[in-house]
């Protein structure tokens, strides 16, 4: 199990670095697909089966297809401006390291002490569905509204403007 | 004994007021009517005064409350008039001489385009002057006091197209205002102490409050009021406006700047004699200032060539004589000289006006001479008045001036002890100088041969008639009033010490100063005309000093006016625009610059905003992690 | 018709507002467009005249002997916070209201020289009238504050839209200056109300209740008073907060200047006498010498700076600084003579300075310059104008028998009792006033006329004369027979002084009753911190709370 | 069983990479993808912690995050398209109209 975790983690991190580092946006997108798949595996390893499936279908499937579609539509591959200066990249890296330097020990300290719950939650469709349609029904409906608003908004934004 | 509700008192100032308005309105379309309306109004006021004086019993006074002017917080002030013997004398002078001068002006101003304004102003002046002398309290007096100042301003600047004339008017007003400020202080202090400004109530309050603690107050009040008088009556240090005031039409100089307005200070001191009597030090200061003013003005008059300027300085000098008497505490003499001076100085000014009129607006005496034959009436009246002012027995000036010198010597004022040895000779010298410069003026104008280019002619009867009347008064006024006036004024000013009658011989002997002055003057300016030139050469710097009026104007300009102007400019440029506005705009600029700095962070680059968010998140994290430990 | 219950004050306050609304909606009624603004002007004039007529009618019903509030109306506005619509009129405000309603028709008549967006201009003026009258009659502190701030908006537009070249700078300066002060005042109002709430258990903004039942310690009083005094001092304006005034005046259109000088500036003084003094009498006493000093500095300084001006309007503006210095001096002297003088002087200043601004406007309309150097010798060309100018100049320099004299004399006489030395210094302003005003008059009216430049100048026309004649009458009426004005102030003032004295006493009693317990605690601290000035006998609640 | 801190650490690393990406990349679409990266990092920690504490609320949260992500994808990509139309580029540095 642990070995599998590390393997998937490695894939996940490499693909994440790929997303950030690729000069070609298409490559970034493909790396992101890999990354999302790895996250789906992680979800599955954590017994979140429903989410793992949704992750694959919605994220790696629908959203990434949309992204790739836009990339194709706009036909942009390379950033056409010179690469950023080393200073900016260095600063960002330094900031990232500082973030990690503070965040990781914090996480270790905060959560190591919490005992593993006896209940082994199963994020099955049934369980998640039950919760969604009972306790979280209101947010759920709100989410549907949000999606609708997003659809309308996207159409509005993306349509060509006609001038009289 | 006070007689209330004498409505007639109200008519005295009312006639000139109505006359002023009518003259202005009717005169706009009918220029010639203005003069007659104004003269009529003035004459009516005179008639009322005469009737009142005739009817007035001895030891009585009239009182008339027109309305309550204001009444707030326990401070009630009536717009009220009081008519006692002193007022009667003043009213007679003002309306009598005023009417004559109105009559004279009708002819004198006949050609002027703006004569409706002139007569409106002149009547307005009469109104103000009558308020001044009739006022039953200090404030009504002050109304007149400022009102005559206004009319003086308007009439000096009557020919306003000449900016220097207008400037002279402004100077007169401002200098008077300085004096008025002193007058106001005096009123404030009196009100603060006694809660009233009514003359009768003040006299009452002061007579019961003669305690020594209040004496310093009386001293200060008297001094403040005297500052007011120096402004109005052209004494050192505020006399500088009067010579410039000659810019006005000559009848104005006669009425306002010789006969009436400038004597307001003397009237005020006589009116407040109960106060000044309790402040002998203040009186002494008055006397000293008066002697020096008389002296300086007489010295200045010696070298003036403008016929009106000579008379102007002479007026200053004669006012000094009046204040000598007032300062010595013998008020009736001051009033006496006021009256006689009104006669002969009005006559002199009107005579000068007649000369100027006849010589086609020539005022420089060096371009006159020999007018004796060309305008005999003017010359005769001018001559009589010259003799009068020189103090020759039995003309009016002799009596009043003699009385002044006697009063000064008499030593009624203990505070003058020891100073008299200086003051009396100075006054005598001034009397001599008076005779001298007046003779000079007469000689340069009327004697010798004509040096100008115009064709002088005698003035019409409407102008000479007032001259004759005034000259007549100057001739006999002293003899007549010298005996009656002290008794007439006694209810107001107290009974004077009796002095015996003098014979003609004595009188002539006592007028030796005047005779000497006239003699020397005649000698210098007729037969031996090289003498003055020689003298001036010998005492060069002194004569320059005299010619330049002792540099008073220049001194004031350098010490007061210029620095104040500079301060004003500095205050505006440096303090107002620099410091205060600088601070205000500076605050705005700081906000502006901070905005500018903050703006530069708003690059519009999403990446930068993201970066700032990241940094901020880092900071929050840092605080979250380390806050407890640091 | 029975006028006993007629809502005079509300109609005065809101009629102009209604008029402004109608004016705003005018294009909907008359789509064929009011091209030259004749209809708008006529309507605005009608409204302002009706308001003036109502105010005159009200004056006839005004009981001169009654010292309390008359025609008062009261309604709850925001009951939850104890805020109410409470208006009333007494001897302190009655003449200022009349002055406002009197000046407004003149300003509307003078609007003939305004050409752009005339409708908006007149509507602003009418809204301003509502705000001004509202400020004067409000007896609820909150209501007062609302009207007080409402005065800013129309004035902001009047200067900012219809002003001269630097109008934006001027109007911003005007608004920012004023807002700084009034916000501090708002904080102080809330503090006082909060203290009232602490002590009485309910909220109110009624001036009378606050005045009677709010106990404040001396230190609280000082701070509150300072906030109020700053707000009012800026509005007056008191030296050194005056620099907005010349800019605002120079840039404002004629009507704006007239209202600004005529009424707006008085609001600061009115606020002082109506709110600052009765609420914080002891602090006012403590501050009085300093305020008087500033007032006297303002008198002399304003006069000197006015002398240094070359722009006529700026000169008149600085003369306002000087004249209002007298009013402030009169108010802080705090005796009946000086205070009634100061109140009278407010009216005088409104009339004579308003008239002077109108006169400058007449010149500016014709020649489009305000520099003295561009004029000269006008008296020969425009005699009627010169006459009017002379009368108002003399009124401005307080010549006896014109209105200015009574005010100045009463102020100086009264304040001489309280501040002799300062009054003496202030009296020099009388001299300096003559200097700068007569210099102005001489430079513009006297001398040789420049035919090329001003040869085509025309004299005052009928419409302009219609604005000057009422002012001219008032100059002489108020100068010769001031008693009708003064007598309507006096009973109120007498009652006012005793009320303030009562409050002073009550506050002292409060201090002596409440404070001793805290005194003991504070004694040592006091001795260490402030050994000299305020002894331990003067308690200090704030410090006690902190300690 | 893999300790929860491992997941969390992994999540932190992924999140950091996302942040760095957002800051250094200029292509708006790549920036968008980096944001997805960060969202997923958070999702991962949600699920991990949901397991740790033994209830499903964390997973529900992830579900909603996904909803938001989907909406964001739709709107965000539409914005990018209209940006491209006006600026002929998807570089974030070209969209600087907010420059103050």
Does pLDDT of C525 surpass 50? no
ipTM of the complex: 0.77
Element (H, E) at C315: helix C312-333
- What integer pLDDT is reported at residue C534 of this predicted model? 40
Q: Does residue C492 belong to any structural domain of this protein?
A: no
Two structure tokens written together for B167? 């400037």
Q: How many residues does chain C have?
A: 547
What are the 10-residue block averages of pLDDT along chain B, 630 residues in total?
76 92 89 89 93 83 88 87 90 92 88 88 92 91 92 90 88 91 91 88 83 85 92 88 88 87 91 89 91 90 87 92 89 90 91 87 83 87 90 85 85 77 88 90 86 82 88 86 83 71 72 82 74 70 74 82 85 83 85 86 78 88 75
Yes or no: domain D4-89 corresponds to CATH 1.10.287.3510: yes
Phi, psi of A161 (to 5 degrees): -90, 135
Residue B523: how many other CB atoms lie within 10 Å: 15
What pLDDT does C540 receive?
Answer: 42
Interface membership of D37 toward A (CB under 8 Å): yes
- What range defines the domain where residue A56 resides? 2-79+122-158
Rounded Cα–Cα distance for residues A43 and A55 (Å): 9
**Contact residues on chain D for A20, CB-CB shorter than 8 A:** 17-18, 20-21, 24-25, 34, 37
Burial state string for B41-80 with b = 16 or more CB within 10 A and e = fewer than 16: bbbbbbebbeebbeebeeeebbbbbbebbbbbbebebbbb
The pTM assigned to this predicted structure is: 0.82
Interface of A with D in 20-79 (CB under 8 A): 20, 25, 28-29, 32, 35-36, 39, 42-43, 45-48, 50-51, 54-55, 58-59, 62-63, 66-67, 70-71, 73-74, 76, 79
Nearest-CA residue of chain B relative to A103? B621
Look up the domain containing C527 and give its range.
515-546
> Is the CB of C336 inside 8 Å of chain B's CB atoms?
yes
Higher pLDDT, C142 or B483: C142
What per-residue confidence (pLDDT) applies to C533?
39
Cα separation, D23 vs C390, in Å, equals 75
Cβ contact B621–A99 (<8 Å): yes
Q: Which residues in A lie closer than 8 A to residue B617 (C-beta atoms)?
A: 99
Domain positions in chain D: 4-89
Does residue A34 register a pLDDT over 90?
yes
* D22 touches B at CB < 8 Å: yes
Name the token pair of B501: 């009658």
User: What does the pLDDT read at residue C312?
Assistant: 92
Instruction: Provide the pLDDT for residue A106.
Output: 86
User: What number of CA atoms fall less than 13 Å from residue C79's CA on the CB side?
Assistant: 3
Flag whether pLDDT at D92 surpasses 70: yes
Q: Lowest-pLDDT range, A34-48, B57-71, C165-179? A: B57-71
How much is the average pLDDT of A7-31?
91
Q: Is B611 on the interface with A (CB under 8 A)?
A: yes
Name the residue among C402, C303, C309 with its Cα closest to residue C347: C402
Q: How far is D54 from chain A (nearest CA, A)?
A: 5
Task: Return d(Cα C140, Cα C146) in angstroms, integer.
Answer: 10
Residue A92: its chain B contacts at CB < 8 A?
611
CA distances from B364 to B218, B356, B368 (A): 46, 9, 7
pLDDT at B529: 65
Q: Do A67 and D77 touch (CB under 8 A)?
A: yes
User: pLDDT tens across C335-359, in order?
Assistant: 889 999 999 999 999 999 999 999 9
Report how far residue D27's alpha carbon sits from residue D80's, in angstroms, rounded to the nearest whole number.
10
Rounded to whole angstroms, how far apart are CA atoms C223 and C353?
34
Amino acid A79: pLDDT: 57
The domain spans of chain B are: 192-234+254-494+502-547, 562-626
- C26 or B331: which leads in pLDDT: B331
Q: How many domains does chain C have?
A: 2
Mean pLDDT of C243-270: 91
> Across the interface, do D81 and A80 touch by the CB < 8 Å criterion?
no
Burial category of C130 from C-beta neighbours within 10 Å (exposed 0-12, middle 13-18, buried 19 and up): buried
State the nearest Cα–Cα gap between D76 and chain B, in angstroms: 14
Question: Is the CB of residue B179 less than 8 Å from the CB of residue B198?
Answer: no
Helices (H), C94-217: 94-110, 118-137, 141-150, 152-162, 167-200, 207-213
Q: Do A12 and D10 touch (CB under 8 A)?
A: yes
Identify all chain B residues contacting C430, using CB atoms and an 8 Å cutoff.
Answer: 177, 180-181, 184
Q: Is B211 exposed, middle or buried (0-12, 13-18, 19+ CB in 10 A)?
A: exposed
Average pLDDT over residues C266-292: 91
Q: Find the helix or strand (DSSP H, E) in which C445 lies.
A: helix C420-445
Asked if C364 and C254 touch (Cβ cutoff 8 Å), the reply is yes
| Chains B and C touch each other (3 or more Cβ pairs < 8 A) | yes
In the structure, what pLDDT confidence band is assigned to residue C82 with cuts at 50, 70 and 90?
confident
| Nearest C-alpha neighbor of D19 from the set B96, B333, B266, B612 | B612
Percent of chain C with pLDDT over 70: 92
Q: Is D87 on the interface with B (CB under 8 A)?
A: no
Q: Which residues have a Cβ under 8 Å from the Cβ of D88 and sit 6 or more positions away?
A: none
Residue A57 lies in a domain: yes
Interchain proximity B603–D31, CB inside 8 Å = no
Q: Give the per-residue pLDDT at B195.
A: 86
Average pLDDT over residues A98-106: 89
The answer to whether residue D26 neighbours chain B at the CB level (below 8 Å) is yes
Straight-line distance from the first to the last Cα atom of chain A, in angstroms, rounded to the nearest whole number: 64
Which residues fall within 8 angstroms of residue C310, CB to CB, at 6 or more apart?
A: C371, C372, C373
CB contact under 8 A, A98 and B618: yes
pLDDT at position B532: 67
Q: Mind telling me how many Å the CA of C489 is from chain B's nearest CA?
A: 9
Contact between C12 and C51 (Cβ < 8 Å): yes
Which residue does chain C place closest to B142, by CA atoms? C400
Are chains A and B in contact at 3+ CB pairs closer than 8 Å?
A: yes
Yes or no, beta carbons of B611 and D96 under 8 Å apart: no
Q: Do B625 and A99 touch (CB under 8 A)?
A: no
Phi then psi for residue B78, to 5 deg, are -95, 145
Residue C2 has pLDDT above 70, yes or no: no
- Confidence at residue C530, expressed as pLDDT on a 0 to 100 scale: 40
Reduce the secondary structure of chain A to three states and give it as a string. Answer: CHHHHHHHHHHHHHHHHHHHHCCEHHHHHHHHHHHHHHHHHHHHHCCCHHHHHHHHHHHHHHHHHHHHHHHHHHCCCECCCCCCCHHHHHHHHHHHHHHHHHHHHHHHHHHHCCCCCCCCCCCCHHHHHHHHHCCCHHHHHHHHHHHHHHHHHHHHHHCCCCCC
What total of structural domains would you count in chain A? 1
Helix (H) or strand (E) segment spanning residue B62? strand B61-72
Give the model's pLDDT for residue A163.
Answer: 56
A·B CB contacts under 8 A: 17
- Confidence (pLDDT) at B457: 83
Confidence of residue D100 (pLDDT cuts 50, 70, 90): low
How far is C344 from B526, CA to CA, in rounded Å? Answer: 64
Tokens (6 digits) for B252: 């104005």
Could you list the beta-strand ranges (E) of chain D. Answer: none
Confidence (pLDDT) at A78: 60
Q: Which residue has better confidence, C376 or A163? A: C376
Length of chain D (residues): 100
A140: domain CATH number is 1.20.120.1200
Strand B61-72, strand B2-3: pairing: parallel
CB atoms D24 and A143 under 8 Å: no
> pLDDT-derived band of residue C536, with 50, 70 and 90 as boundaries?
very low
Contact between A102 and B614 using a beta-carbon 8 Å cutoff: no
Buried b (16+ CB within 10 A) or exposed e, B507-519: bbebbebbbebbe
Assigned domain for A21 exists: yes
Chains that touch B (3 or more CB pairs under 8 A): A, C, D
In the prediction, which pLDDT does A122 show?
85
Residue A77 has pLDDT above 80, yes or no: no
Helix C141-150 crosses helix C152-162 at what angle (to 10 degrees)?
A: 10
């Amino acid at each position: 199990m642990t070995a599998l975790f590390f393997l998937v983690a490695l894939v996940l991190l490499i693909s994440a670095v790929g997303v950030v580092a690729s000069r070609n946006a298409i490559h970034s997108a493909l790396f992101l697909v890999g990354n999302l798949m790895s996250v789906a595996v992680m979800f599955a390893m954590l017994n979140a089966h429903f989410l793992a499936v949704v992750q694959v279908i919605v994220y790696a499937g629908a959203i990434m297809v949309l992204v790739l579609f836009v990339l194709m539509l706009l036909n942009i591959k390379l950033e056409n401006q010179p690469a950023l200066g080393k200073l900016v990249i260095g600063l960002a890296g330094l900031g990232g390291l500082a973030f990690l330097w503070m965040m990781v020990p914090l996480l270790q300290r905060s959560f190591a002490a919490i005992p593993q719950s006896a209940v082994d939650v199963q994020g099955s469709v049934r369980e998640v569905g039950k919760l969604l349609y009972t306790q979280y029904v209101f947010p759920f409906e709100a989410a549907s509204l949000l999606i609708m608003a997003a659809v309308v908004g996207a159409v509005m934004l993306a349509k060509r403007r006609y001038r009289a | 004994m006070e007689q209330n509700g004498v409505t007639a008192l109200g008519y005295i100032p009312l006639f000139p007021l109505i006359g002023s308005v009518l003259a202005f309105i009717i005169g706009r379309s009918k220029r010639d009517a203005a003069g007659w309306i104004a003269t009529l109004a003035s004459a009516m006021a005179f008639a009322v005064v005469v009737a009142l004086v005739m009817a007035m019993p001895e030891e009585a006074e009239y009182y008339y409350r027109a309305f309550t002017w204001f009444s707030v917080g326990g401070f009630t002030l009536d717009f009220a008039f009081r008519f006692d013997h002193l007022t009667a004398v003043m009213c007679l002078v003002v309306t009598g001489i005023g009417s004559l001068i109105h009559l004279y002006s009708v002819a004198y101003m006949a050609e002027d385009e703006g004569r409706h304004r002139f007569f409106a102003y002149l009547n307005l002046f009469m109104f103000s002057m009558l308020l001044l002398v009739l006022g039953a309290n200090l404030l009504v007096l002050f109304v007149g006091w400022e009102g005559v100042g206004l009319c003086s301003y308007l009439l000096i600047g009557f020919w306003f197209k000449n900016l220097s004339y207008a400037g002279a008017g402004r100077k007169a007003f401002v200098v008077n205002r300085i004096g008025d400020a002193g007058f106001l202080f005096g009123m404030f202090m009196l009100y603060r102490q006694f809660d009233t400004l009514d003359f009768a109530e003040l006299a009452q309050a002061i007579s019961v409050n003669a305690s020594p603690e209040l004496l310093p107050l009386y001293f200060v009040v008297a001094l403040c009021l005297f500052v007011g008088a120096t402004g109005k009556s052209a004494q050192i240090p505020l006399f500088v406006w009067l010579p410039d005031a000659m810019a006005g039409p000559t009848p104005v100089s006669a009425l306002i700047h010789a006969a009436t307005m400038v004597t307001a200070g003397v009237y005020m001191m006589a009116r407040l004699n109960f106060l000044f009597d309790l402040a002998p030090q203040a009186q002494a200061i008055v006397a000293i200032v008066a002697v020096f003013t008389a002296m300086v003005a007489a010295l200045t008059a010696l070298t003036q060539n403008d016929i009106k300027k000579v008379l102007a300085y002479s007026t200053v000098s004669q006012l000094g004589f009046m204040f000598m008497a007032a300062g010595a505490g013998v008020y009736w003499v001051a009033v006496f000289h006021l009256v006689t001076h009104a006669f002969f100085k009005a006559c002199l000014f009107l005579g000068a006006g007649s000369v100027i009129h006849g010589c086609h607006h020539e005022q420089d005496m060096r371009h006159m001479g020999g007018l004796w034959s060309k305008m005999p009436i003017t010359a005769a009246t001018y001559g009589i008045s010259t003799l009068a002012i020189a103090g020759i027995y039995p003309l009016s000036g002799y009596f009043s001036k003699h009385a002044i010198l006697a009063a000064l010597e008499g030593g009624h004022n203990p505070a003058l002890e020891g100073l008299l040895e200086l003051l009396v000779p100075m006054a005598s010298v001034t009397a001599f100088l008076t005779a001298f410069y007046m003779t000079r003026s007469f000689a340069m104008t009327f004697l010798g041969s004509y040096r100008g280019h115009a064709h002088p002619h005698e003035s019409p009867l409407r102008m000479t008639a007032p001259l004759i009347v005034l000259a007549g008064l100057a001739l006999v006024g002293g003899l007549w009033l010298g005996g009656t006036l002290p008794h007439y004024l006694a209810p107001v000013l107290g009974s004077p010490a009796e002095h015996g009658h003098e014979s003609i011989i004595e009188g002539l002997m006592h007028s030796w100063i005047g005779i000497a002055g006239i003699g020397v003057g005649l000698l210098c300016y007729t037969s031996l005309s090289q003498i003055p030139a020689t003298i001036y050469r010998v005492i060069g710097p002194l004569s320059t000093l005299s010619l330049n009026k002792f540099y008073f104007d220049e001194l004031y300009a350098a010490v007061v006016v210029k620095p104040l102007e500079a301060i004003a400019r500095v205050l505006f440029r440096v303090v107002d625009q620099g410091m205060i506005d600088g601070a205000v705009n500076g605050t705005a600029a700081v906000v502006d610059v901070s905005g500018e700095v903050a703006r530069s962070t708003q690059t519009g680059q999403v990446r930068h905003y993201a970066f700032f968010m990241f940094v901020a998140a880092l900071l929050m994290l840092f605080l979250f992690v380390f806050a407890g430990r640091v | 018709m029975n006028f006993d219950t007629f809502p005079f004050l509300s109609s005065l306050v809101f009629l102009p507002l209604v008029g402004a609304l109608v004016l705003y909606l005018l294009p909907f009624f008359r789509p064929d467009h009011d091209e030259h603004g004749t209809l708008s002007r006529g309507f605005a004039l009608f409204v302002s005249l009706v308001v003036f007529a109502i105010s005159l009618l009200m004056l006839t019903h005004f009981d001169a002997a009654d010292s309390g509030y008359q025609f008062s109306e009261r309604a709850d506005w925001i009951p939850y916070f104890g805020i109410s619509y409470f208006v009333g009129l007494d001897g302190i405000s009655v003449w200022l209201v009349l002055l406002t309603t009197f000046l407004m028709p003149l300003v509307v008549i003078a609007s003939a020289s305004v050409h752009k967006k005339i409708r908006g201009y007149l509507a602003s003026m009418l809204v301003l009238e509502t705000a001004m009258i509202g400020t004067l009659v409000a007896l609820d502190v909150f209501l007062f504050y609302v009207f007080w701030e409402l005065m800013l908006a129309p004035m902001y537009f009047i200067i900012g839209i219809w002003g001269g070249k630097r109008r934006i700078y001027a109007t911003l300066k005007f608004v920012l200056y004023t807002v700084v002060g009034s916000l501090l005042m708002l904080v102080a109002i809330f503090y006082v109300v909060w203290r009232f709430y602490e002590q009485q258990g309910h909220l109110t903004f009624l001036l009378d209740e606050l005045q009677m039942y709010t106990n404040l310690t001396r230190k609280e009083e000082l701070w509150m008073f300072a906030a109020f005094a700053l707000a009012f001092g800026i509005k007056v304006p008191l030296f050194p907060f005056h620099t907005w005034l010349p800019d605002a005046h120079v840039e404002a259109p004629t009507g704006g200047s007239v209202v600004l000088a005529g009424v707006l500036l008085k609001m600061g003084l009115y606020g002082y006498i109506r709110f600052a003094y009765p609420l914080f009498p002891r602090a006012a006493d403590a501050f009085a010498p300093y305020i008087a000093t500033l007032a006297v500095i303002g008198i002399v300084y304003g006069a000197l700076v006015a002398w240094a001006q070359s722009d006529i309007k700026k000169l008149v503006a600085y003369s306002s600084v000087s004249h209002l210095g007298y009013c402030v001096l009169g108010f802080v002297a705090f005796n009946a003579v000086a205070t009634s003088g100061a109140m009278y002087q407010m009216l005088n200043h409104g009339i004579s300075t308003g008239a002077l601004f109108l006169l400058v406007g007449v010149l500016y309309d014709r020649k489009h310059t305000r520099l003295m150097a561009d004029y000269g010798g006008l008296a020969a060309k425009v005699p009627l104008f010169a006459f009017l100018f002379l009368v108002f100049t003399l009124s401005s320099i307080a010549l006896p028998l014109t209105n200015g004299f009574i005010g100045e004399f009463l102020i100086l006489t009264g304040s001489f009792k309280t501040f002799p030395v300062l009054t003496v210094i202030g009296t020099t302003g009388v001299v300096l006033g003559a200097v700068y005003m007569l210099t102005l008059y001489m430079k513009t009216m006297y001398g040789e006329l420049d035919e090329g430049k001003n040869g085509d100048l025309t004299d005052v026309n009928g419409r302009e004369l219609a604005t000057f004649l009422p002012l001219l009458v008032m100059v002489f009426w108020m100068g010769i027979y001031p008693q009708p004005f003064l007598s309507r102030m006096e009973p109120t003032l007498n009652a006012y002084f005793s009320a303030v004295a009562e409050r002073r006493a009550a506050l002292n009693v409060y201090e002596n009753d409440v404070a001793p317990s805290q005194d003991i605690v504070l004694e040592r601290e006091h001795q260490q911190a402030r050994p000299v000035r305020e002894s331990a006998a003067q308690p200090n609640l704030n410090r006690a709370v902190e300690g | 069983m893999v300790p929860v801190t491992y997941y969390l650490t992994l999540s932190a690393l992924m999140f950091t990479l996302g942040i760095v990406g957002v800051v250094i990349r200029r292509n708006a679409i790549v920036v968008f993808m980096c944001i997805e990266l960060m969202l997923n990092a958070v999702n991962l920690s949600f699920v991990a912690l949901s397991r740790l504490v033994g209830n499903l609320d964390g997973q529900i949260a992830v579900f909603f995050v996904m909803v938001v992500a989907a909406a964001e994808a739709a709107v965000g990509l539409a914005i990018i398209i209209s940006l491209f139309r006006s600026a002929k580029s998807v570089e974030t540095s070209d969209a600087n109209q907010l420059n103050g």
